[in-house]
Amino acid sequence: MTTTRFAPSPTGNLHVGNIRTALHNWMLAKRDGGRFLLRIDDTDQARSKEAYVDGIHADLAWLGLVPDGEERQSERLAIYEEAFERLRAAGRVYPCYETAQELEVRRKIQLGRGLPPIYDRAALALSDEECAAKEAEGIAPHWRFRLDHAEPIAWDDGVRGAQKFDPALLSDPVIRRADGSWLYMLPSCIDDIEMGVTQVLRGEDHVSNTATQIQMFTALGATPPAFAHEALLVGSEGKLSKRLGSLGCDAFREQGIEPGALVALLARLGTSLPVEPLADRAELLASFDLATFGRAPARFEEAELARINHGIVHQLTYAEVEERLPEGMGEAGWLAIRPNVATVAEAADWWSVVTGPVEPGDLSEEDRSFLARAAELLVWSETPWADLTGALKAETGRKGKALFLPLRQALTGRAHGPEMAALLPLIGEEAARTRLALAAKSQG
- E-strand ranges in 285-419 read 298-299
**Is 393 assigned a ligand-binding role in the annotation?**
no
CB 337 within 8 A of CB 347: yes
User: Which of these, 71, 70, 74, 51, lies nearest to 181 by C-alpha position?
Assistant: 74
Please tell me the distance from the alpha carbon of residue 63 to that of residue 368, in angstroms, as a whole number: 51
Under 8 Å between Cβ of 347 and 376 = no
- Whole-number Å distance between alpha carbons of 8 and 21: 10
Helix (H) or strand (E) holding 429: helix 429-441
Distance between CA atoms of residues 416 and 409, nearest Å? 8
Cα gap 133→123, rounded to integer Å:
13
DSSP for residue 231: P
- Distance between the two ends of the chain, CA-based, in angstroms? 73
The answer to whether the beta carbons of residues 97 and 141 sit under 8 Å apart is: yes
Output DSSP code: residue 399.
-
CA-based angle 115:116:120, to the nearest 5? 90
* Total length of the chain: 444
Distance CA 353, CA 426 (A): 10
Phi, psi of 285 (to 5 degrees): -65, -40
Which residue stretches of 64-159 are H helix? 77-89, 100-112, 128-136
Q: Residues 6 or more apart from 380 whose CB is under 8 A from it? A: 429
Closest by CA to 228, choosing from 21, 76, 374, 46, is: 21
Which residue from 41, 9, 368, 381 is spatially nearest to 189, judged by alpha carbons? Answer: 41
Question: How far is residue 134 CA from its own chain's centroid?
Answer: 48
**Binding site residue list:** 242
Residue ranges at the known binding site for ATP: 242
